[in-house]
Chains A and B, each alone.
Chain A
Amino acid sequence: MGYKKKTIILAVIALLLALLYIFYDLSGNIDYILPRRIIKVVAIVITGGAIAFATVVFMTITNNRILTPSVLGLDSLYMLIQTFIIFIFGANSLVMMISEINYLISIGAMIIFSLFLYRFLFKGEKNNIYFLLLIGMILGTFFGSFTDFMQVLIDPNEFMVAQDQMFASINNVNTDLVYLSIIIIAAVKIYFFRFYKYLDVIALGKDEAINLGVPYDYVVKRLLIIVAILISVSTALIGPITFLGLLVVNLAYEFMKTYRHFYIILSSIFIGLIALLGGQFIVEKVFTFDTTISVIINFVGGVYFIYLLLKENKKW
Chain B
Amino acid sequence: MVDLKNVFKSYNKKNVIEDVSLEITKGTITSFIGPNGAGKSTLISMISRLIAKDNGAITIDGQDIMHTKNNELAKKISILKQSNAINLKLTIRELVSFGRFPYSQGKLKKEDNEKIDEAIDYMELRDIQDKYLDELSGGQRQRAHIAMVIAQDTEYILLDEPLNNLDMRHSVQIMKTLRKLVNEMGKTILLVIHDINFASCYSDQIVALKDGKIVKQGRTCDVIDKCVLKDIYDMDIDIKEIDNRRICVYF
Contact = CB atoms under 8 A, between A and B. Distances in A.
Interface of A is mostly: loop
Contacts of B106: 197, 200-201
B98 A125 contact: no
Contact of A214 (B52, B70, B88): B70
B74 A211 contact: yes
Nearest to A259: B88
A257 B89 contact: yes
Contact of A213 (B51, B52, B70, B81): B70
Nearest to A260: B94
Nearest to B105: A197
A212 B85 contact: no
B82 to A, nearest CB: 11
A267 to B, nearest CB: 15
A211 B48 contact: yes
B75 interface: yes
A210 B90 contact: no
A148 B106 CA distance: 49
Nearest to A219: B70
Contacts of B85: 205
A41 B195 CA distance: 65
A92 interface: no
B50 interface: yes
Contact of B74 (A125, A197, A203, A212): A212
Interface string A202-217: 0111011011111110
Nearest to A210: B50
Name which of B70, B74, B105 has the most chain A CB atoms within 10 A of its CB: B70
B74 A213 contact: yes
B12 interface: no
B101 interface: yes
Contacts of A258: 89
B98 A208 contact: yes
Nearest to B77: A211
B86 A205 contact: yes
A213 B86 contact: no
B25 to A, nearest CB: 23
B116 to A, nearest CB: 14
Interface string A104-138: 00000000000000000000010000000000000
A215 B52 contact: no
A8 to B, nearest CB: 22
Interface residues of A, number: 20
Nearest to A215: B70
Interface string B188-199: 000000000000
Interface in A203-238: 203-205, 207-208, 210-216
B79 interface: yes
Contacts of B89: 257-259
A63 B87 CA distance: 8
Nearest to A207: B50
A259 B81 CA distance: 22
A205 B90 CA distance: 13
Given A201-B98, A204-B98, A213 B71 contact: yes
Given A125-B51, A125-B52, A197-B106, A211 B79 contact: yes
B49 interface: yes
Interface in A246-268: 257-259
Nearest to A261: B106
A207 B74 CA distance: 12
B153 to A, nearest CB: 12
A197 B87 CA distance: 19
B98 A212 contact: yes
A213 B88 contact: no
A203 B75 contact: no
A200 B86 CA distance: 12
Interface of A: 63, 125, 197, 200-201, 203-205, 207-208, 210-216, 257-259
Given A63-B87, A213-B75, A257-B89, 16 more contacts: A197-B105, A200-B98, A204-B86, A207-B50, A207-B81, A208-B84, A208-B86, A210-B70, A211-B48, A211-B79, A211-B152, A212-B98, A213-B74, A213-B101, A259-B89, A259-B90
Q: Which 8 A-B pairs have the closest CB atoms?
A: A213-B74, A213-B71, A213-B102, A259-B88, A197-B106, A212-B101, A215-B70, A213-B70
10 contacts: A63-B87, A204-B88, A208-B84, A208-B86, A208-B98, A211-B50, A211-B74, A213-B73, A213-B74, A259-B88
